[in-house]
């Protein structure tokens, strides 16, 4: 379970500038504001939504071909690993944590899906993050936006 995570915040919050969905962690503005007052069950529900949406996007862009290699590299590079986190979310966490040092997905036991094989890791990371934001925003607009 992900309840050990105090907050999914990655320090790039955009809710303070008016976004309904944070560009960093992809929580909704009301979730960022209320996070500290939520129960573990409420936090877990939010984390499950985030994980589900991120998994969907990552699977469309990359494929994990060697879980053992991914975990070895994450351990060697001291990338934060969350027990129970989906393997595709772990792969994205590794891509995000390695930053510009990661030049080849094979180094972490992954490969790009066919349409993205010529893209750099940086381009893939940006495309995944952008798609994740758009999917999160669409989810917010469908289920939480108030239409007047």
Per-residue pLDDT reduced to its tens digit, 88-135: 999 999 999 998 999 999 999 999 999 999 999 999 999 999 999 999
Residue from 82, 10, 30 nearest 51 by CA: 82
Angle between helix 121-143 and 87-98 (nearest 10)? 120
Q: Enumerate the domain spans of the chain.
A: 15-136
Number of neighbouring beta carbons within 10 Å of residue 29: 18
Q: From its phi and psi, is residue 83 left (phi > 0), alpha (psi between -120 and 50) or beta?
A: beta
Single pTM value for the model = 0.90
CA distances from 146 to 31, 34, 133, 140, 142 (A): 16, 18, 19, 10, 9
Tell me the pLDDT tens digit for each residue of 4-28.
556 777 777 787 777 899 898 999 9
């Amino acid at each position: 379970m992900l309840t050990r995570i105090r907050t999914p915040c990655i320090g790039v919050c955009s809710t303070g500038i008016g976004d309904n969905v944070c560009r960093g962690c992809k929580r909704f503005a009301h979730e960022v504001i209320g996070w500290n007052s939520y129960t573990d069950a409420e936090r877990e529900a939010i984390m499950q939504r985030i994980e589900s949406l991120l998994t969907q996007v990552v699977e469309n862009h990359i494929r994990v071909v060697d879980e053992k290699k991914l975990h070895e590299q994450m351990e060697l590079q001291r990338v934060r690993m969350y027990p129970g986190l989906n393997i595709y979310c772990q792969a994205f966490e590794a891509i995000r944590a390695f930053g510009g040092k990661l030049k080849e997905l094979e180094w972490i036991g992954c490969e790009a899906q066919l349409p993205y094989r010529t893209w750099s890791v940086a381009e893939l990371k940006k495309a995944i993050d952008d798609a994740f934001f758009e999917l999160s925003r669409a989810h917010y607009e469908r289920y939480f936006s108030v239409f007047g």
